[in-house]
Amino acid sequence: MITLIVGTNRPGSNSRKVAAHVEEIYAELKVPLRVLDLAHLPPEIFSPTSYEEKPRAFQPFAEAVLNSAGLHVVSPEYNGGIPGVLKYFIDMLKFPESFINRPVCFVGLAAHLRLPQCVHLSESRVPALCQRPARHPRPVERGRTAGSIEDASEWFY
């Protein structure tokens, strides 16, 4: 089973819209998929005591990663990096077993299609995925504003 991680906790995020499209792709391919939306992280995970002992409510999130054949992360780019909640989520996972021999795919979203060329997560806890940023196959409409993704399928090619 693949675990799809929505890498932000922002309400109504474009990442969630794109993740929904990714879910459809996996369904068409008949690939089993489990979705972890970081908007649903239990509030107690943000307690300073969570570093020493993870709250019980976090266990399903950790187990979903440990039991997955691979991870697919859909994440926005915030100021040239990943959202703090995604980094924190990664820090809360068991290391190294959450990432050893587990392929990780990243889908990044950024305003004006300016994605960082390398994604480095948690001081190399996850190997960096380095490649040139993808170019949109069609010109982007002028006047389009962040949050205006009506049909996420137009962003895949």
DSSP, res 126 = E
Residue 120: pLDDT band (50, 70, 90) is very low
CA atoms within 13 A on the CB side of 130: 4
In a domain? residue 150: no
Within 8 A by CB and 6+ apart from 2, the residues are 26, 31, 32, 33, 34, 68, 69, 70, 71, 72
Whether 149 shows a pLDDT value over 90: the answer reads no
Whether 153 shows a pLDDT value over 70: the answer reads no
User: What CATH number is attached to the domain comprising 126?
Assistant: 3.40.50.360
Whether 51 shows a pLDDT value over 50: the answer reads yes
Whether 142 shows a pLDDT value over 90: the answer reads no
Q: What is the pTM of this model?
A: 0.73
Q: Is the separation of the CB atoms in 2 and 34 below 8 Å?
A: yes
Token output for 96? 């190294």
Residue 58: which domain range?
A: 2-134
In a domain? residue 142: no
Percent of the chain residues past pLDDT 70, beyond the cut = 71
What is the CB neighbour count within 10 angstroms for residue 96? 11
Q: Looking up tokens 């004006």, which residue turns up?
A: 112
In a domain? residue 147: no
In a domain? residue 91: yes
Q: What is the mean pLDDT of residues 99-124?
A: 66
Q: What digits encode the pLDDT tens for the residues 53-102? A: 999 999 999 999 999 999 999 999 888 789 999 999 999 999 999 988 89
DSSP, res 19 = H
Which own/partner pairs from 77-82 qualify as long-range (CB within 8 Å, at least 24 positions apart)?
Answer: 77/108, 77/109, 77/110, 77/114, 77/115, 77/116, 80/116, 81/116, 82/7, 82/119, 82/121
In a domain? residue 152: no
The total number of structural domains in the chain stands at 1
In a domain? residue 82: yes
In a domain? residue 155: no
In a domain? residue 62: yes
